């Protein structure tokens, strides 16, 4: 189940002011900060070796829904398993705080990952799981943790043909907050 933890960034040791698994509360908290979040059914069972084309075909109704609503002509699927040969380097790249010049829109169809949003003096950590759809506005400072043994598949929507392009901030903020596995265990 999805989880939201809210922190004040001005503390030397961050302590969550709010931790919730309530989907409605998560949606309200994120919406009040300009982040769109919805729960959709992750209805397709994907085979272990599913190709990008198979994943996109399995979720074509959801893809059409997002593209019609938000104007995101480019879509791909990212699927990482614990044995992915580049998991460590990808994790380090995603863990560095960055922004994008476009919205970051994801629909998780398998597994889970941790979005961390740096909004002024707040940091919001959101564990997204299968069925979570999130749209982070362009220019939002954030990072993402897929854990040391990633296991997720997400559809990624873009309004540029290049796909994922990040501008790294150089801020070491991510090192002061829980990682995916730490947050999941502490909130259990």
Note whether 78 and 156 are within 8 A (CB): yes
Beta bridge partners of 177: none
Which pair of structure tokens corresponds to residue 56? 């996109």
pLDDT the model gives residue 70:
65
pLDDT range class, residue 72, cuts 50, 70, 90: confident
Which pair of structure tokens corresponds to residue 45? 């069972």
CA proximity to 84, closest of 152, 5, 163, 160: 152
| CATH assignment at residue 60 | 2.60.120.10
Which pair of structure tokens corresponds to residue 117? 């949003």
CA proximity to 75, closest of 86, 90, 59: 59
β-pairing, 152-158 vs 74-80, is: antiparallel
pLDDT the model gives residue 165:
77
Which pair of structure tokens corresponds to residue 37? 């979040």
pLDDT the model gives residue 84:
92
- Classify burial at 142, counting beta carbons within 10 Å of its beta carbon; exposed 0-12, middle 13-18, buried 19 or more: buried
Range of the domain at 128: 3-186
pLDDT the model gives residue 115:
96
pLDDT the model gives residue 96:
95
pLDDT in tens, 124-175: 999 999 999 999 999 999 999 999 999 999 999 988 766 677 889 999 999 9
Tally of structural domains, the chain: 1
Distance between CA atoms of residues 143 and 113, nearest Å = 11
């Amino acid at each position: 189940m999805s989880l939201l933890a809210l922190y004040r960034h001005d503390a030397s040791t961050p302590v969550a002011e709010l931790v919730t698994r309530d989907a409605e509360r998560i949606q309200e908290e994120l919406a009040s900060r300009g982040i769109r979040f919805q729960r959709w059914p992750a209805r397709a069972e994907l085979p272990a070796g599913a190709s990008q084309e198979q994943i996109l075909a399995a979720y074509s109704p959801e893809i059409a829904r997002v593209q019609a609503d938000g104007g995101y002509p480019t879509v791909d699927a990212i699927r990482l398993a614990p044995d992915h040969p580049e998991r460590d380097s990808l994790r380090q790249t995603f863990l560095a705080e960055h922004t994008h010049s476009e919205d970051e829109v994801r629909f998780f169809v398998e597994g889970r990952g941790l979005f961390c949003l740096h909004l002024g003096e707040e940091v919001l950590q959101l564990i997204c799981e299968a069925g979570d759809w999130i749209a982070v506005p362009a220019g939002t400072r954030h990072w993402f943790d897929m854990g040391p043994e990633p296991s997720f598949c997400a559809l990624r929507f873009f309004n540029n043909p290049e796909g994922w392009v990040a501008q790294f901030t150089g801020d070491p903020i991510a090192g002061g907050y829980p990682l995916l596995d730490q947050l999941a265990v502490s909130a259990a």
